Chain A
Amino acid sequence: MSGKIAIVGAGPSGCFLAQALLKAAPGLEVDLIDRLPVPYGLVRYGVAADHQGTKAVSRQFARVFERQGAQFFGNVTLGADVTLETLRAAYDAVVLAAGLSQDRPLAIPGGDLPGVHGAGTLTRALYDHPDACALPDLGPRPLIVGNGNVAIDLLRLLAKTPEEMTGSDLGAGPGEWLAGSGIEEITITGRSPAAQAKFDTVMIKELAKLAGVSIRVIGAGASDDPVEQKKIEAVQALDGIATGPRRITFRFGLTPLAVEGETSAEAVRFATDQDEEVLSCSSVLTAIGFGPAGDLPRDALLADARDAEAGALAPGLYATGWFRRGPRGTIPENRADAQALAARILDDLKSDPDKPGRAILADLAEAVDYTGWTRIDAHETEAAPEGRCRAKIATRAEMLRRARQEERPK
């Protein structure tokens, strides 16, 4: 089968989709376009620096380029470097796999005070994303709002001692920031009772290994449901762990009402079952989900979709991954989603030999191809210092230089 397919976003969804398409139809021309000069999306910039095993999935993605023949067009932004209309005119099918990168705002009074930070913003800075802002000062007592896996990631990273980051790909700057954070106490709050918290039990069990913490669990509650019971037990098992001075407190059933503070966040007022409660803090970290970056007309596209559930937006236009489903689901779910969509696309595909396909991207002088990425990758792994598996390049300019094998300007 022949046909030209452009996938926008080289995160896990885009890569799994290319894998499935090319497995079923090796003759396709599949191009993965990403706004970053480097591929793999949140596998590189979301999955925690101390979870390298999870990042190993990128070995599969490398094969999509190296053996299955997909092409990478990095540093190409849909909406800026190329429009959706142009892409749709040039390819037989276009798939939006652009993820959701914007932190959902804490929509309560004071939610925009200085000292309130979103988990996406913070993790991008921690993981040396080229568009990240500087790492903020969190003060001695950050408070985390949210009870999903991302909230637990944040908690674990902030709680770890520098020695516990051995083997990670945490950069030098973020490493110093963490080591010098001066954090004394972290409170993590969830709206639901522990039984219904969104985090996975294994994420909680992992916290039992922390080397420098004293953990308290308040109000984990009870349940008759065996699955919920397991979750509660895992949380309860953390209570009383005392391996070091950094205090961690788990609280449940707290719905944030307002962030209080004169010039920056100093406390959060919550609604509880019976009443209200105010917890003081030095900063607020929100991990309450993600939304679209706003550069693509996602809402309109989904609203008008022919079959949103299947990811079919319009003739020759599809969506997959977080972009389609919302900010839920781990890497495996994106694979299942992508495999189902691949079957649908192949079913629909009508190849038009007159479509130019990737030729329209040829003029983009700043685009980074897969070879460019392998140069960045090789440099990053070779430059890894003692105790690290990689030293990420943190700026776009340096990535582009490495991709082109240019020397640093003197």
Chain B
Amino acid sequence: MKITILYGTETGNAEMLAEDIQAELEGENEVDCLNLSDMSPSDFDASRFFLLVCSTYGDGDLPASAQPFAEAMNAEKPDLSAIHFAIFGLGDSEYDETFNHGPKKLAELMLAHGARQIGERVAHDASGDDMAEDLAFPWAEEVIAQAGEALGEAA
């Protein structure tokens, strides 16, 4: 499958995870990895499956590298109805009121423009016991299996 991993980060944890996921998936798939700050809404390509990895900042906000993308989406209002994505979130339960709200907002932004979400949003907790990749690798495998059917149907 052709996959693009898009990450939104502020201190680099999401970037490191995105690169780990890329390394894990390569071989069986053709995988690109891109910072959301370098992604334009017009770059979405229906033949690819988009894996979003995004952290949370401030008071439940998008991290710095995802903010220009969010602004561009709101300005350009692209039609993403042919686009399939899945999303993995990073956050910290110390901020319990806004836990993983960054990826939640990013998913809502994608859905608002018609994109189709594959699988549930999974949330990593920096204060928890799990390593992000231990949650993310099984998640990626599962959403890729599901996307195979969805993208197959779409094609």
Interface residues of A (CB under 8 A from B): 16, 19, 51-54, 56-57, 59-60, 63, 167, 200-202, 205-206, 209, 230, 331-332, 335-336
Which residues of chain B have C-beta atoms less than 8 A from A335's C-beta?
10-12
Size bin of chain B's contact surface? 10 to 19
Is the CB of B149 closer than 8 A to any CB of chain A? Answer: no
Is B57 a contact of A332 with CB atoms below 8 Å? yes
Give me 15 A-to-B residue pairs in the complex whose CB atoms sit less than 8 angstroms apart, sorted by A's number: A52-B126, A52-B127, A54-B92, A54-B126, A60-B13, A63-B16, A167-B127, A200-B58, A205-B95, A209-B96, A230-B59, A332-B10, A332-B11, A335-B11, A335-B12
Q: Smallest Cβ distance from B17 to chain A, in angstroms?
A: 10
- Contacting A at CB under 8 A, from B65-124, are 92-98
Residue of B nearest to A56 (CB): B126
B151 at the interface (CB under 8 A from A): no
Task: Give A331's nearest chain B residue, CB to CB.
Answer: B11
From B95, which residue of chain A is reached at the shortest CB distance?
A202
The verdict on B34 contacting chain A, using a C-beta distance below 8 Å, is: no
Check if B24 is an interface residue, CB within 8 A of chain A.
no
The 4 closest A-B pairs by CB, nearest first: A53-B126, A53-B92, A53-B127, A332-B10
Cα separation A52 to B12 with both chains bound (whole Å): 16
Q: Would you give the shortest CB distance from A375 to chain B, in whole angstroms?
A: 21
- Residue-by-residue, is B125-149 near A (CB-CB < 8 Å gives 1, otherwise 0)? 1110000000000000000000000
Interface residues of B (CB under 8 A from A): 10-13, 16, 57-59, 64, 92-98, 125-127
Chain A residues, CB < 8 A from B95: 202, 205-206
CB distance from B59 to the nearest CB of A (A): 5
Contact A16 B12 (CB under 8 A): yes
Residues in A neighbouring B126, C-beta threshold 8 A: 52-54, 56
Q: A52-B127, A53-B125 are in contact. Are A205 and B12 (CB under 8 A)?
A: no
Interface centre among B11, B16, B95, by most chain A C-beta atoms within 10 angstroms, is B11
Hey, which chain B residues are within 8 Å of A56, CB to CB? 13, 126
A52 to chain B, nearest CB (A): 6
Q: Chain B's nearest CB lies how many Å from the CB of A321?
A: 14
Q: A56-B13, A59-B13 are in contact. List 15 more A-B contacts (CB 8 A).
A: A16-B12, A51-B94, A52-B126, A53-B92, A53-B126, A54-B126, A57-B11, A57-B12, A202-B59, A205-B59, A205-B97, A206-B94, A230-B59, A335-B10, A335-B12
Q: How far apart sit A205 and B96, CA to CA, in the bound complex (Å)?
A: 10
Whether B127 pairs with A60 at a CB distance below 8 angstroms is no
Chain B residues, Cβ within 8 Å of A332: 10-11, 57, 64
A53 with B94, Cβ < 8 A, contacts A202-B58, A230-B59, A332-B64 known: yes
Name the residue of chain B whose CB is nearest to the CB of A234: B59
CB neighbours (8 Å) of B11 from chain A are: 57, 60, 331-332, 335
How many Å lie between the Cα of A56 and that of B132 in the bound state? Answer: 11
Among the listed A52, A57, A201, A209, which residue makes an inter-chain contact with B13, where contact means beta carbons less than 8 Å apart? Answer: A57
The chain B residue sitting closest to A208, CB to CB, is B97
What residues of B have a CB within 8 angstroms of the CB of A57 in the complex? 11-13
Complex contacts, A167 vs chain B, CB 8 Å: 127
Chain A nearest CB from B61 CB (Å) reads 10
Q: Would you call A60 and B16 a contact (CB within 8 A)?
A: yes
CA distance A167 to B13 in the complex (A): 21
